[in-house]
Amino acid sequence: MARGQITRQPSKAGRHDKPAKAVTLNVKVKASTPAKLAKAPAKKSASGAVPKGYNPIAPERVQEILKRLEATYPGVKCALHHHNAWELLVATILSAQCTDVRVNMVTPELFRKYPTPQAFAGLKPEQLEPDIRSTGFFRNKAKSIVGAAKVIVNDFGGEVPNEMDKLLTVPGAARKTANVVLGSWFGIAAGVVVDTHVHRISRRLELTKNNDPKTIEQDLMKILPRDRWINFSHEIIHHGRAICIARKPKCVDCSLENICHAADKTWSTVEIHKSAQP
């Protein structure tokens, strides 16, 4: 039978989980220091303030975040199913306020029924609405898709342009959508896709303090190597769905846990920063 004090590992219940009281066996033993726990929940600092000298966007920290994301999500790709730039454009428009899973359920039949931009351009928005109703906001999305098809057919010869300035003239193709198409189909790193996951997790990781997607994109473009702009978004989006869930992040399973100081962590081995808000 082991002698001395018996301690237990922390549970996954949260950072406030307290270790059980020590149980002393009725045997005289020499006093000893218990071994350090592999992962012990950390306490909040009194103020929750960021320590002096801490730089969340220091190149070495950013590189470590990128290294861990790449190792956790190797070869990650866009979750929207598509076979060409037009299909990706349509799928991205449909994905607004809708899950990629739902979009992927709708698009196969949609593209079978209307296989080309020309087919969409010949529709009235109300004709398209029943086919995309389940994605939500279907009236606005129908107008955007039909409008996009007409511009692409009339102004770009039926081909989705591969330049940011030209893509931004297409209805429904705001900067986020344009970045998705340019990055995932053309392999052009013109910017960083800032969807809800990238918006939230970039703030949690203290990579930006801003709340406006355009400003967040500019902040990320300054600190991320250009050759990582495309994959960073894919990795963060997958991370947001699998681990860093908005309502209850699975911090105990997170590969970034010990370099993340987010204020809403459910479990932590490091100090919490109240300014690291999603």
The structure tokens 């511009």 sit at 151
DSSP per residue, 91-117:
HHHHTTTS-HHHHHHHHHHHHHHS-SH
CA distance 87 to 257: 37
* Rounded Cα–Cα distance for residues 168 and 176 (Å): 10
Q: Three-state SS for 159?
A: coil
Q: CB–CB of 42/273 below 8 Å? A: no
4: Cβ contacts below 8 Å, ≥ 6 apart:
25, 29, 32
Taking the CA atoms of residue 92, residue 94, residue 97 and residue 101 in that order, the dihedral angle to the nearest 10 degrees is -80
Question: Is residue 251 part of an annotated ligand binding site?
Answer: yes
Q: Which residue has the higher pLDDT, 5 or 259?
A: 259
3-class SS shares of the chain: helix, strand, coil, % to 5: 45, 0, 50
At residue 44 the predicted structure's pLDDT band, cuts being 50, 70 and 90, is low
Per-residue confidence (pLDDT) for residue 59, from 0 to 100: 97
Secondary structure class of 209 (helix, strand, coil):
coil
Of 92, 81, 90, the C-alpha closest to 119 is: 90
Which two three-digit tokens encode residue 137? 């906001």
- Token digits of residue 155: 């102004």
| 39 pLDDT tier (thresholds 50, 70, 90) | very low
Q: Is the pLDDT of residue 16 over 60?
A: no
Domain boundaries in the chain? Answer: 1-41, 85-184
Q: What is the pLDDT of residue 35?
A: 34
pTM equals: 0.81
pLDDT band at 51 (very low <50, low <70, confident <90, very high): confident
pLDDT digits (tens, 9 = 90+) for 67-88: 999 999 999 999 999 999 999 9
**pLDDT tens by residue, 86-105:** 999 999 999 999 999 999 99
Active site residues: 176, 195
118 neighbors 149 (Cβ within 8 angstroms): yes
**What CATH number is given for 85-184 in this structure?**
1.10.340.30
Cβ-contact 239, 77 below 8 angstroms: no
Q: For residues 225-240, b (16+ Cβ closer than 10 Å) or e, as one string?
A: eeebbbbbbbbbbbbb
pLDDT value of residue 25: 35
pLDDT average, residue stretch 219-230? 98
Average pLDDT over residues 151-165: 97
User: How many Cβ atoms are within 10 Å of 3's Cβ, its own excluded?
Assistant: 12
86 Cβ contact partners less than 8 Å away, ≥ 6 residues apart = 116, 117, 152, 160
254 has binding-site annotation: yes
Give the pLDDT score at 52: 81
pLDDT of residue 37: 33
The CA-CA-CA angle for residues 117, 173, 184, to 5°, reads: 80
Q: What is the mean pLDDT of residues 106-127?
A: 98
Q: CB-based contacts of 125: which residues, under 8 Å, 6+ apart?
A: 139, 142, 143, 146
Half-sphere exposure of 260 (CA within 13 A, CB side): 27
